[in-house]
Structures are given as structure tokens and as C-alpha cells.
Structure 1
Amino acid sequence: MTAQKQSLPCTVVAALCLQLVCCLSLQAQSSGRPHIVLVMADDHGYGDTGFTGHPFVQTPHLDAMSKAGVVFDRFYASAPVCSPTRASVMTGRHPFRTNVPNHGHYMRPDETTIAEALGDAGYVTGHFGKWHIGSVQPDSPTSPGGAGFDEWLSGLNFFDNDPYLSRNGNYEHLQGPGSVISMDATIEFLTKHHGGDRPMFSVTWFPSPHDPQQELPQGIPDAATLYNDQPTKKPGYFREITLLDQQVGRLRKTLRDLGIADNTLLFYCSDNGGLIVESSGGRNKKGSIYEGGLRVPAILEWPARYRPRSIQTPAFTADLYPTLVAIAGASVAHQPKLDGIDLADVLSGKQTVRPPMGFWHGHTQGQSTYSDRIIRALLEAKQAGQPNPHPERILKNVEAFPTFGEDGMRGHAAWNAWPWKLHRIQNGERVKFELYNLVDDPMEQTDLSESQQGRVAELKADLEAWQRSVLDSWSGKDYVK
């Protein structure tokens, strides 16, 4: 007896076809190069979001992003202050290697940046917000334009309300909260280019929640007193976190409205630890090599590629460069030594152990940078036809290649070979070591250096070899002459 074929109802066939089209579309999106949007806050501590357990700060958009994306539970800034971490994002290298040992120092034009690498691979590139690793003067090789960004609206350092900024080298005095202005420029860039034939790479570096915290959340009654009734000495800090959260919400909505959310890699983190010790996620806070100065909130959202999950494997901001270079299919002809790694296998779950991460601070003093004051002086001089009042800020010392003697290892360094973290603290000729197990002792309270002398010796050798490598890079030995 021959079995008769049964035909499916038309509605079922249509549904199956639609499902097949959606699957093929998703495969096409995930196999193509994504748009890439990097967002970074200024001084946002690990514990200062709803999704990391803060008791009162309102971060509904970051919380939603955390549920939709990949959350890094152990993500670190490459340095405990702003400029060095920004240099690590741009280059994948420890900031000392790039001539940025502390805040206010300039990154050398000799470095290959992520904007240059992605631009060469066909991306259109934009920077919006705080720069703080170079000049914002026209034609400076240390400006965002000199570092590979096609379009930029940038400040020299943090800024608050009604900031003076540089738009592609043209100085402007804008009105409104600086974080909102930075996101306005980002959204304008994405809207302008999303229908073009080039993928987009956008970097938004918020000026908030850095002191003096004068910006206010938008559309909230009595915003000026928000969190004043909470147990904190810094309600303005938390107000600015809620403001930047609103801007993340605007960004995510824009990506959906433009129809590019599925194949956009959106990444959020902070440039260093926060300003509140109690919620820093570790010992101490911003400015410290202990966990509280380095651990930051971090979320990656790329719906076409990654399902929501949490990652326990440690990562840090220097990993962004090699990860994005690989994703974009970019090629760097003369790549100097990297400190970061490609996180592809970590994100896929294939890799749960990563190479050690090195940190170093306190070697060289920072340099003050008054963004509004400097850009205002540049603007007023230009309007009056006067000479440049700040020619020294075009290059600073990027053409100097220092060498270091016996005191070159000074400062506070650390070697995170998970779960072990060795600290090397040098003041003058005195050197002190501390060892912590971060799984058993995440607050770094119990120094195990005496009971684990063999491990200290092993990690010490690795840390000091890395430090010497960093100093070699700083002196210019990585560059092809």
C-alpha cells in the first residue's frame, strides 16, 4: 500500500518560510562585520549600578543591557586613572608603552590606534566626548583626527554643563549637559552613516560622573535633589550615573530605530574605579592599584552573535583593541607588542583562563588639564586673530623617548595571574611585596606573601620582566624606524 503525501496548510508553509528567512538574515548579519560602538564612563565604580547590586542608584537602561548582553563580572580598567586607560583602549597596550603613565599625558602618534586599524579596514570612525590623551587643536597628530577618527566632537578632559569643545578642530561653546551633548553627537554620527556602504566605529567617552558633578538627569522632577535623601556624601555622583544611564538608553533606542541593533557590537565600561569605597567592588577606589581602583562594570551587547550570559574570566580594557581588530578583519602592518588578547574564545566559552594582566601606577605624576579654560582661550584667540595661546599643547613630550635608571621600577605595580595577584610597591630603594588570592579574598585583606614565598618568587620574576618590557617600549624600542 503506497503512502499518500500530505500537503501542509498554506499558513504553516508561510510561517516556515518566514522563519527560514529570519534565520538566513540572522546568519548573514552575524557573518558580516558589525557596527562597533564603544561607550566609556569617567569614574563609574563597579558596584554603582543596579545590575551589580547598588541599593538606590537608578540605572534601568544599563540593567536592561545587562539582561540582554554579556556581562563581564571581572573586568578591569588598565589603569586606576583616566588617560592611561584611554590609551590602552586605543592601542591594546599598557599605557606606559604609549607615553601615558598618568592623567594628562599625550599618547604618541607613533602608536597604531584602533580607529586607524578599523579605518584602514573600511570603517567610518567617530569620537565624541572626553579625549584626554592628546590635543584637540587642528592638524595636531595627537588629536582625535590625528589618531584616526574621521569625525569628532571632543574635550581635552572632563567637562560638565555648557562645555567648550572642539569639532574636527573648530572650537565651539555648546549649551547643555556635557554627557547629553556627547550622546547627541554620537546619535547624529550613527544616523548620518548607518545607511552607507561602510560599517561604523563610534567611540563615546562620557565626561560623567567625574567631579564636580554639575550635570543633572533629564526629565526627572526635582532632579537637583535626587539622592539627597540617601546615605551618601556624593549625591551628585549618583545623579550623573543616572544621567549617563539615560544616554545609554537613548543610544540603544537609536540602534533599534535605525534597524542596526542586531548587528551592532555595543560595549560599555568605565575608565577606572569609582569614587565610593563602599561600592567599588574591592579594596580602595579610583587612583589605587588595589581592586577598587581597577574593577569596573562592563557589558557587551551584540544580539546577532552572543546570547545573554555572565563571564567570570578576567578581562581588561587592553583586550578591546585585539578583539575588535579581529572582528573587523583589520590588518596592522607593524603591530607593536600587545598586552591585551583577543577575547573571541572567552566570549564563546572556549577559553576560561587568560594570560596574566599587568598594572602599574605611581611612577610619574599626572598633568593638570583644564578643558574649558584651554579651549575657551583657543576660541577667543582665534576669534580675535591672535596667536595660538597654547602651542605647547600640540605635542607636549611625545617626541621624547626617556630611558630609566635604577629607579625606573618605582611606583605600585601588580600582576594579576588569576586568582593570584602580586603587588610590588617601590618607594625609593624600599620594595614591598603583597600576595592575595582574589577568589578567597576579593577585598585583598589577607597578605599571603610570607606563607607563599615560592609563588611570590615565580610571580615576581614574571612581573619584573613585564615591567622591564614596558620601560623598553616607553623608550621607543617597539617602533619601526
Structure 2
Amino acid sequence: MRKITQNLKYLFLTIFLPMAISCQKESREQTNTAMPNVVLLLGDDHGWDETGYNGHPYLHTPVLDEMAATGLRMDRFYSASPVCSPTRGSIITGRHPNRYGTFTPGHSIRPEEISIATLMRDAGYATAHYGKWHLGPVKSASPTNPAAFGFEEYLSHDNFFEMNPPLSHNGAEPVIFEGESSEILVQEAKQFMNQALEQGEPFFVVIWYGSPHEPYSGLPEDLALYDDLPEDFGDRMVKLTSNETGSRVERLQREVLQERFAEITAMDRSIGQLREYLDEKGQRNNTLLWYFGDNGTPQEANATVPFRGQKGDIYEGGIRVPAVLEWPDRISRPMVSGVSMVSSDVLPTLCSLTGIPLPDRPIDGLDISPVFDGKMDKRPEPIAFWNARARNGGEGLEEYIDPELQKGTTPLVKLMNGIATRNFQNYRHPDIQEQDFAGARALLDYPYKLVIHGGTGEEAKRELFDLSSDPAEETNLYEQAAERAEQMEAELRSWQQSVLESLTGADY
């Protein structure tokens, strides 16, 4: 009997156990293979007009152009805000940034917000963030650093950066990385993706570039591409930050654009390096690669914007941005979509694709994955925009987070009050007052777009545009279509009420 038992034990150890382990391993690999890798790329101040595929007369963006030609080109994609920090919050949460007090640059996110990185991590993804964070300090003590929002690894900056960026690794003191910043971020991200692949895990990687935000700089070979810009192009003086002093300086726009275009070209090249890496690793087909800008073209770079407004405005020039997505396993042929989409759609879309339940709180974005299959040709709900401010500029309101924890550590060229770092703030709004509904706001229910500036009474400026025939928002139809405009304003007001309820902390 003992001999039979020993023989059975031998058979189990030598035959059945390896088979079981092999089956388990194969099952895990199959599960992970079914979960696409996801890489989100975000340009800093990269406007709709600044790509070759959108018809720019001088810019070289061959990689983005190829992605637009072979993947999904999103022609009507919007940033949730006309400025950067709020848009970044919308990507992380799927919610409008006013819900948690990220009104403008320098306003942090709130620790209670649920992040797409946390959701992806809990679903089995390896998660990492690289580059500009701008939702709070990246230091280890900060309750709003990338790690607090689900990123297991991060190499990040509180704000924007140029060549030779100072970056914090997982909250440590910042260290200078020598080289072109866009390429540095991709190189570092590749190392993380290697580790994830070695461990058999799908990866969720967020790369938020410091380019092409001012002040500008570029490699000699990139600058040389734009040596011969026409004399009549950018023939005016503009104000921006000096790389030498960190203060404001006035320069000829053509020279500024040469440097800005060099940054965009370098960023484009880094995306190509990332795509080549995914090809080499056999991961290109199973990776959803999504690029867009965080707001419209800034004032010093506004030379070819075909729309009204620029960065900071809720007109098209401030919120309509370039966007391309490729995922060969799902999008096997070139597609161009005119569906209205927004940065808040990222979280619900990724949740849908990976089978993750949505957080139990108001979500402003929508799952736009049906666009990938040609099954959505019109957005079923409008998009609301609101460029508001903290009540009374925060005066009289309680700080949401200890100010010491809101102090930044990563330096940048642009000085503010003589300081080379940035601090953050967020305020408690204990109630809702009529003044809280003010600020530039809009409702986009294509083809109509309602735009309101100012307060909430008769003094407010109201405009209604038909974007299908008037993409430059030149003709105000408010009087001719007053009933439609009033209906849209009531819908916008109802949405604002929901946002302000969230702002009071009701969702937590």
C-alpha cells in the first residue's frame, strides 16, 4: 500500500502538478491578454490646429499624422476645461473638476476622489505616471500625489518643465534628468512596461508631457526644421516667460513659434519611439494608445487657430483639442469620428472596456467605446463646460487640506512672486449661494452650443451658435432661437446645481 501511495505521489509531482501549474499560468496569461494595455498621452497647451493632419502649414508631426490616418481620428474632441489642472482632474475622475474644487491651475484635487488608476490597479493592472501632475504636490507627504491616486510608480513634476527636467521619483526630492523631456518620459515609461511584461501584468501608463507649454526650448536638429518660417508668419510681438530670467519678456512671435514647433516635433518623435517599443515587444495590437491636448492654444502661440478664442476661453479655440487613438485589435481600419467627445469620457470608457463598475457618484463623462465599432454617430447627452472660481477667491473659506501639505517642491523656470516652485489650494464650500453659479459656462448639444459669460441675471452675456455651419462661433443665434437657448440654459443650470452639491462634499 505504501509503495502504491509513493507511486501515486510521484505521478502527481512529475506529471499532474506541472500540468496544473501550466494550466494556471496559461489561464492567467489568457486573462491578462484579454485585458488591453492602456497608455494615455497628454500634450500641455497643444491646440487643435497644431498638427499636420489638421492642416497646419508648417508643423512636422509625422507620428500623430500616421495615427490619425490609420487609427481613430477624433475631430470633435474637447478638454473639460480651457486650462490644464481641471482637465487633468477630469481624466483622473471622469467628473467635472468643479465638483471637487479643481477650478484653475494651482487648485489641487481632493483626496476622496476615486481615480481611474486606482480602479485599474485593483483590476490587476500595473499602474504608473510620468511627467506633469499638477493636481497637487508630488512629494511623498502629499495626500494628492500620484501614489494617493493609484499609481504604483511615478516620476513626476508638480507643474510643467522644459529640457533637463527636475522630476520626483515616488515622492523623493527632485533629480535633474539630462535631455529632451518628452523622450526622457517615454524612456522611463518603457522600463516600467518591461517590468510589467516580465511579471505577466497588463499595464496602465499615463504620460503627461511638459511640452509644448512655454517657455520654449528645443534640440538643434528640431529647431533647424523651422529655420525658414516665412517672414510674414508670426510677424508680431508676444509676451511669454524668459528661459534666462523666469520673468515675462516680449519677443517676436515667429522666433517663439520656431521653438514651440521644435517642442511639438520632439514630443511627436517620442510617441513614435513608444510605438516602436510596443511593436518590438509584440504589444502594439493589444495596446490602446490615446493622445490628446489638455486645452487650446495659448495667446503667445495663436497664429493658425481657425476658431474663436484661445487657452482660457470656453469658445472652441480654448477647449477643442487634437485627439487620436489607436488600438489595432479593436480598431483595425482607419476611422474618422465627428462625435462630440471630452476628456471626462476617459474613465467611463476604460471602465467599460475592462469590465470595471463605475464609481457610485455623479460621473460627467460617457462611455464612447461604441465609436470604436462605428455604433455611435451622435453623443446621446450634451457636454457642459464651466470655467468658474472659488467663491470670493477663497476668502473666508476653510482650506480643504493643510497648507503645509500643499507646498510644491519641484522647480520650474517660470517664477511666480519670485518663487520657482508652485503651491496648491482647495477650499471647503459648505453651502450653495447664487454667486456660485457665475463664471464662463457652456452647454454643447451638437450642433448647438450655448455660451454664457458673467453672472446669473439679465446682465449675463448669452450666445447661441450652430457649430455645423459656424464652427468659428461668429453668428449669435440667441434671439432667433430663444426657446432652444432657454431650454439649454435650464439644462445647464440643473447640471450646475449637481456640480455645486458635489462641491459641498455631498458625494463623500
TM-score class, shorter-chain normalisation, is 0.7 to 0.9
| Deviates most, 428-437 or 71-80 | 428-437
Percent sequence identity over aligned pairs: 39
> In structure 2, the residue corresponding to 1:286 is in which secondary structure?
coil
Q: Which aligned pairs between 1:14-25 and structure 2 lie closer than 5 A?
A: none
| 2:453 corresponds to | 425
| 2:268 corresponds to | 245
Deviation of 1:396 after TM superposition, in Å, equals 3.9
Equivalenced residue count is 433
Deviation of 1:237 after TM superposition, in Å, equals 1.6
Deviation of 1:243 after TM superposition, in Å, equals 1.1
Looking at structure 1, the residues matched to 123 and 232 of structure 2 have their Cα atoms a distance apart, in angstroms, of: 49
The reply on whether 1:416 has 2:430 as its aligned counterpart is no
Looking at structure 2, the residues matched to 178 and 392 of structure 1 have their Cα atoms a distance apart, in angstroms, of: 19
Deviations 1:48-75 (A, max 9, x none): 1111111110001111111121000100
C-alpha contact 1:79 1:272 (8 A) present in aligned 2 = yes
Q: 2:278 aligns with which of 255, 258, 268?
A: 255
Q: 1:287 aligns with which of 289, 312, 326?
A: 312
Q: Which aligned pairs between 1:187-336 and structure 2 lie closer than 5 A?
A: 187-216=190-219, 219-220=221-222, 222=224, 225=227, 227=229, 231-232=233-234, 233=253, 234-275=257-298, 276-306=301-331, 307-332=333-358, 334-336=359-361
Deviations 1:373-425 (A, max 9, x none): 83259xxxxxxxxxxx99995x8436x34433121111100000111000121
| Deviates most, 91-100 or 403-412 | 403-412
The reply on whether 1:113 has 2:136 as its aligned counterpart is no
Change (3 A) 1:412 1:41: same
C-alpha contact 2:47 2:322 (8 A) present in aligned 1 = yes
Q: 2:371 aligns with which of 346, 370, 373?
A: 346
Q: TM-score, normalised by structure 1?
A: 0.85
Deviation of 1:40 after TM superposition, in Å, equals 0.4
Deviations 1:257-289 (A, max 9, x none): 111000000000000011344433421111110
Q: 1:448 aligns with which of 473, 477, 495?
A: 477
Matched to 1:194, the amino acid is L
Looking at structure 2, the residues matched to 199 and 64 of structure 1 have their Cα atoms a distance apart, in angstroms, of: 25
Looking at structure 2, the residues matched to 401 and 174 of structure 1 have their Cα atoms a distance apart, in angstroms, of: 40
Looking at structure 1, the residues matched to 222 and 285 of structure 2 have their Cα atoms a distance apart, in angstroms, of: 30
Looking at structure 1, the residues matched to 151 and 278 of structure 2 have their Cα atoms a distance apart, in angstroms, of: 21
C-alpha contact 1:38 1:204 (8 A) present in aligned 2 = yes
C-alpha contact 2:138 2:168 (8 A) present in aligned 1 = yes
Matched to 1:198, the amino acid is E
> In structure 1, the residue corresponding to 2:454 is in which secondary structure?
strand
Q: TM-score, normalised by structure 2?
A: 0.80
Looking at structure 1, the residues matched to 106 and 52 of structure 2 have their Cα atoms a distance apart, in angstroms, of: 31
Deviations 1:173-232 (A, max 9, x none): 222222222222222212222232211000000000001112337x55846857586823
Q: 2:410 aligns with which of 375, 392, 409?
A: 375
Matched to 2:349, the amino acid is T
Looking at structure 2, the residues matched to 342 and 271 of structure 1 have their Cα atoms a distance apart, in angstroms, of: 19
The reply on whether 1:176 has 2:211 as its aligned counterpart is no
Change (3 A) 1:428 1:320: closer
C-alpha contact 1:360 1:412 (8 A) present in aligned 2 = yes
C-alpha contact 1:313 1:352 (8 A) present in aligned 2 = yes
Looking at structure 1, the residues matched to 439 and 278 of structure 2 have their Cα atoms a distance apart, in angstroms, of: 43
Looking at structure 1, the residues matched to 33 and 408 of structure 2 have their Cα atoms a distance apart, in angstroms, of: 47
Change (3 A) 1:29 1:310: farther
Looking at structure 1, the residues matched to 269 and 421 of structure 2 have their Cα atoms a distance apart, in angstroms, of: 38
Looking at structure 2, the residues matched to 278 and 452 of structure 1 have their Cα atoms a distance apart, in angstroms, of: 33
C-alpha contact 2:226 2:261 (8 A) present in aligned 1 = no
Matched to 1:352, the amino acid is D
C-alpha contact 1:277 1:284 (8 A) present in aligned 2 = no
Change (3 A) 1:271 1:220: closer
Looking at structure 1, the residues matched to 228 and 192 of structure 2 have their Cα atoms a distance apart, in angstroms, of: 32
Change (3 A) 1:161 1:392: closer
Looking at structure 2, the residues matched to 225 and 178 of structure 1 have their Cα atoms a distance apart, in angstroms, of: 22
Deviations 1:238-272 (A, max 9, x none): 11111111111111111101110000000000000
Q: Which aligned pairs between 1:19-34 and structure 2 lie closer than 5 A?
A: 32-34=34-36
> In structure 2, the residue corresponding to 1:88 is in which secondary structure?
helix
Structure 1 unmatched ranges of 5 or more: 1-27, 378-388
| 2:503 corresponds to | 474
C-alpha contact 1:126 1:203 (8 A) present in aligned 2 = yes
Looking at structure 1, the residues matched to 433 and 197 of structure 2 have their Cα atoms a distance apart, in angstroms, of: 51
| 1:405 corresponds to | 433
C-alpha contact 1:178 1:215 (8 A) present in aligned 2 = no
| Deviates most, 239-248 or 170-179 | 170-179
| 1:43 corresponds to | 45
Matched to 2:503, the amino acid is W
Looking at structure 1, the residues matched to 163 and 319 of structure 2 have their Cα atoms a distance apart, in angstroms, of: 27
